[in-house]
Copies of this chain bind each other. A is one copy, B any other.
Amino acid sequence: MNNSVMMMAMDQDPIKMLQDPISSRLGYLLRRASAAMMADLGAALAEIDLRPVEGTILILVGANPGCIQSDLGRMLGIKRANMVPLVSALATRGYIEKSPVDGRSLALSLTAQGEQARLAVETLMDVHESRFERLLAGRDESALRRALALIAEGPCFDDTEGGPAPMSVGDLG
């Protein structure tokens, strides 16, 4: 499965000796770095059958008991309409409790299970994050770029899959 073995030489390792004039773009580095961390976090949270968004919402509700759906959405940049199935799913799983506070607003809070899940999420996120922070040991100012490139490489992407990290079609930059 190792391509440097398959092709007997070590010259065209990355892709096809392709010129890369976009990795110097800050936005592109950010995108790749973000994608790398997202993939890692997604894999980590999959262990407790939770997506990154859901974990984030659990953390947010845990830190803001009684907050309402709309505020969460505004904070995360998620539209009201799309928040509905998100918190509904978490409520169905018994993680989030809704109690009307306003007639129109619902105050959200974590159930016991929800608090437990939130704790698990936070633990997994800590481990996940430390995996990447190790890469940024003693970095200085303009090393921001190099740091992002390092993150984009990622600590946990052997070549058992495709590239270093999944990338989206619509949002390359």
Chain A interface residues toward B at CB < 8 A: 14-16, 18-22, 25-28, 30-35, 37-38, 41-42, 51-53, 55-56, 59-60, 62-64, 67-68, 71-72, 74-79, 82, 86, 125, 128-129, 132-133, 136, 138-141, 143-144, 147, 151, 162-167, 169-173
* Supplied contacts A26-B133, A42-B171, 6 more A-B pairs, CB within 8 Å: A16-B67, A21-B60, A51-B170, A53-B172, A79-B162, A139-B141
In the A-B complex, the 10 residue pairs with the smallest Cβ-Cβ separation, listed nearest first, are A77-B167, A52-B173, A27-B37, A34-B34, A53-B172, A77-B163, A30-B34, A19-B63, A41-B173, A21-B63
**Number of chain copies forming the complex:** 2
Whether the pair A139, B144 counts as a contact (CB closer than 8 A) is yes
Residues of B contacting A19 in the complex (Cβ-Cβ under 8 angstroms) = 60, 63-64
Chain B residues, Cβ within 8 Å of A79: 162
Given contacts A59-B22, A75-B18, A140-B141, contact A41 B64 (CB under 8 A): no
Known: A64-B18, A77-B165, A138-B141. A129 touches B71 (CB 8 A): no
In the complex, residue of chain B having the shortest beta-carbon distance to the beta carbon of A71: B16
Selected from B20, B37, B141, B166, the residue in CB contact (under 8 A) with A173 is B37
Which residues of the partner chain B approach A37 to less than 8 Å between Cβ atoms?
26-27, 30-31, 173
A38 engages B171 (CB within 8 Å): yes
> Which of A37, A74, A129 has the most chain B CB within a 10 Å cutoff?
A37
**Given the known A-B contacts A16-B67, A60-B22, are A173 and B38 also in contact in the complex, defined by CB atoms under 8 Å?**
yes
